[in-house]
Amino acid sequence: MKITDVKTHVLEASLSQPFAYSRAWYSTRTAMLVEIETDQGLVGWGECYGPARINTAVVQAMKAALVGQDALRTEWLWQEIYARYRDHGQKGVIIQGLSGIDIALWDLKGKFFNQPIHRLLGGPIRSDVPAYATGLYRRKGGDPVAYLAEEAAEYVAQGFKAVKLKVGFGVEEDILMTRIIRETIGPDIGLMIDANHAYDAIAAIRLGRAIEQYDIGWFEEPVPPEDIAGHLQVKAALKMPIAGGECEFTRYGFRDLLAKHMVDIVQPDTCAAGGISECKKIADMASAHGIRYAPHVWGTGIAIAAGLQLLSVLPDSTPPSLAPVEPMLEFDRTEHPIRQAILKTPIEHKEGRVAVPEGPGLGIEIDRGALERLRAS
Ligand code: CA
């Protein structure tokens, strides 16, 4: 099955109201989708996490290495493209471009063999996965104490067993909001916090110590990804698990993060860290280091489907037992007009669990009408 063309789709949509995390406000959502065509009429879909317009340029530049090649040689194509750009792109947008291509090639492989990707990765360990609600961002106007509590209560009512709160808005405010959310959701729902590396070790430790009493499932990106010593300092100072890795790339980047035990839970993004081929390797490395794996997911239905296909084949976080801890899907609940619109059948949760798509490849069908409607100008 020869590759005949590689297309990219930059999509953009305005939000009904802007929202903020610790470092910026969002007023639009964008997406960069990869479409790979073959001489057998099959088409594969992938997605790149990160700046859409840079990602599209990267994938277009990589097209020459793909057209005319056998689409089923995913491992060789990954190595070939990585080697071609190694001198200039061991991390960042080059690997994000490669990730979207790799996911599209796996979608094609599944369609060619008429099997979902997880069947080709070793077969399912689970057919649905627990999902936690990512939301609880800041809005313009209103009292966060009131609207965050209301939003958290909604997630619990929808059946989610865990929610993640955005922090990094100043230690005192974070302490207050963490207490409010814990009081709202009660003791039985998981609560994680995410600073999006807005703190240094001093601030992160101060926050962490003040909220230890609220049973925090993990403290995500307390300090910048480059700050190895800071991660180790925060990890040593706090009782709660430390998570991170959405800004890390490939087995080589994660090797150092895992070997140094910088985090307790590693969070590669399938659409950024190197695609399905690479993230399976990173997951195996994490398992060997006794570090949990919980993929970062912040994209459209393609990103969610890629995360689900991988999660289906990952071992439980704890060793086999009668009450294992399963790896969790990050389920973004913020407004994203593109996320489900591009799918003919949306991927939804049921009581906080999401079924792994069973159709061939990623197990999703793309609505081309939505691509036209949402195309960025
Ligand atoms: Ca995050």
Please tell me the predicted confidence (pLDDT) of residue 48: 98
Report how many helices (DSSP H) and strands (DSSP E) the chain contains, helices first.
12, 14
- Residue 290's pLDDT band, with cuts at 50, 70 and 90, is very high
* Helical ranges in the chain per DSSP H: 52-66, 74-85, 93-113, 117-120, 144-157, 171-185, 201-211, 228-237, 250-259, 275-288, 301-313, 368-374
Average pLDDT on 306-322 reads: 96
Task: Give me ligand 1 centre to Cα 10, in Å.
Answer: 23
Residue 279 pLDDT class (50, 70, 90 cuts): very high
Give the percent of the chain with pLDDT over 70: 100
Residue 136: per-residue pLDDT: 96
| Per-residue model confidence (pLDDT) at position 297 | 98
List beta partners, residue 212.
none
Q: What residues are neighbours of ligand 1 (ion), with CB under 5 Å?
A: 194
pLDDT band at 247 (very low <50, low <70, confident <90, very high): very high
Band (118; pLDDT cuts 50, 70, 90): very high
Q: Ligand 1 centroid to 165 CA: how many Å? A: 10
- Name the fold adopted by 119-355: TIM Barrel (3.20.20)
| Residue located via tokens 């084949």 | 313
Backbone angles phi, psi at 317, to 5 degrees: -65, -35
How far is the centre of ligand 1, averaged over its atoms, from the C-alpha of 196 (Å)? 6
How far, in Å, from the CA of 131 to the mean position of ligand 1? 15
CA of 157 to the centre of ligand 1 (A): 23
Residue 312 has what pLDDT?
A: 98
pLDDT band at 300 (very low <50, low <70, confident <90, very high): very high
Q: How far, in Å, is the centroid of ligand 1 from the Cα of 358?
A: 28
Whether 2 contacts 71, CB under 8 Å: yes
- Tokens 């990804």 correspond to 225
Cβ proximity of 274 and 98 under 8 Å: yes
Q: How far is CA 14 from CA 133, 134, 151, 346, in A?
A: 22, 20, 21, 20
Note if the pTM is more than 0.95. Answer: yes
Could you report the per-residue pLDDT of 91-105, keeping only the tens digit for each? 999 999 999 999 999
CA of 375 to the centre of ligand 1 (A): 26
Q: Which CATH class is domain 3-114?
A: alpha beta
Q: Any alpha helices (H) in 162-300, and if so which ranges?
A: 171-185, 201-211, 228-237, 250-259, 275-288
Which pLDDT belongs to residue 32? 98
Catalytic residue among 118, 197, 231, 296: 296
Question: Mean pLDDT score of the chain, rounded to an integer?
Answer: 97
289 is a catalytic site residue: no
Domain positions in the chain are: 3-114, 119-355
Taking only the tens place, the pLDDT of each residue in 2-42 is 999 999 999 999 999 999 999 999 999 999 999 999 999 99
Look-up of token digits 């403290």 = 219
Residue 152 makes CB contacts below 8 A (sequence gap 6+) with: 136, 163, 165, 181, 184, 185
Q: Using the mean position of ligand 1's atoms as its centre, give its distance from the Cα of residue 193 in Å.
A: 9
Q: What percent of the chain has pLDDT over 90?
A: 99
Give the distance (Å) from ligand 1 centre to CA of residue 166. 8
Whole-number pLDDT of residue 37: 98
3-class SS of residue 159: coil
Cα of 156 vs centre of ligand 1, distance in Å, is 20
| pLDDT per position as a tens digit, 189-219 | 999 999 999 999 999 999 999 999 999 999 9
